[in-house]
Amino acid sequence: MKKSLAIVGAGAWGSALAIALSEKFDRIFLITKDNANTDRLGNQHEALSIPFNSNISIGSSFEAIKDSQAVLIATPSSSFNSVLTNLEPHINRKPVAWVTKGFDPDNGKLLHESFSQKLPNHHPCVISGPTFAAEIVEKKPAAIVVASKDKITRDFWAETIQTNNLRAYTNSDIVGVQVGGSVKNILAIAAGIANGLGFGANTQAALITRGLAEMTRLGVALGADKVTFQGLSGMGDLILTCSDDLSRNRRFGKELANNIPTDKALKNINATVEGFKALKLVIRIANNHQIEMPICEQVLAVTEGKITPREAVNELLLRKPSEE
């Protein structure tokens, strides 16, 4: 039997995974948002250096899922619920996982909670970690984590996603992996602001370290294992996203540092900035659990135009000394 996989979402990450996994599968079905997106995509995603292989079929119909053995969701968090609705008539018992990062903006829940509501007969599974799409298609070595409470599910997806250049690890802490994948995008905006203001390595190290503390506090309050944040989906993804301009969140922060208004900065990035989308929701969840997230709070204040980027830095530095 020929091996086939459906990937829903043809952004940079979905397209990169289609290319990377096309050497492992006989057929990849890459499902776009609509026919216009299919036409615009053509034979190569604009953010990637490698064209699609001939065994990648591109189209907007969910009917392709009937011919697939498994489904991988690679859409922004804002589309996650609608994708699940469209999937439901086609998947039967096929394994489903997602590489989407962020909370569900429709209800403020983690994505695995929304998934279980929509597809109660499937085991939720998230795939996350320090991976830039552009480097994956160029076969530069990387590692990723597959998280599910169900061992059979996470082992299946670890085997599915692993290639000669992409090493997969497994984790049962689906809450921690998701929190790390969401919050790191906000912290990358802060790192971009600091870099755009001309600050150096000292600032970067402080932001990453204290940002990790914020991420961990929130995750533990939501039921995550503290150790998860020391791994690929926590510290690993945070270091990556804060340190390189391949991160659209970091680039967005650099735009803000130049006093460019939020709306114009988002237009300049011309891609989904998940950190911005998650900001208000993460702060609201943190407040509901009485969790301090001062770096994230200052990023929100900057994006809302309440303070300048330099004032945000001053606010953080002038806080009362506290135990690490």
Residues assigned a catalytic role: 184
Pairwise CA distance, residues 116 & 118, whole Å: 5
Backbone φ and ψ of 3, nearest 5° = -90, 130
Q: What count of residues does the chain have?
A: 324
Pairwise CA distance, residues 149 & 123, whole Å: 8
Pairwise CA distance, residues 289 & 247, whole Å: 29
As given in the structure block, the two tokens for residue 117 are 């509501």
Sign of CA dihedral 178, 179, 182, 187: negative
CB-CB neighbours of 292 under 10 Å:
15
Residues with Cβ within 8 Å of residue 4, at least 6 apart in sequence: 25, 26, 27, 28, 29, 67, 68, 69
Nearest to 238 by CA among 268, 276, 266, 204: 204
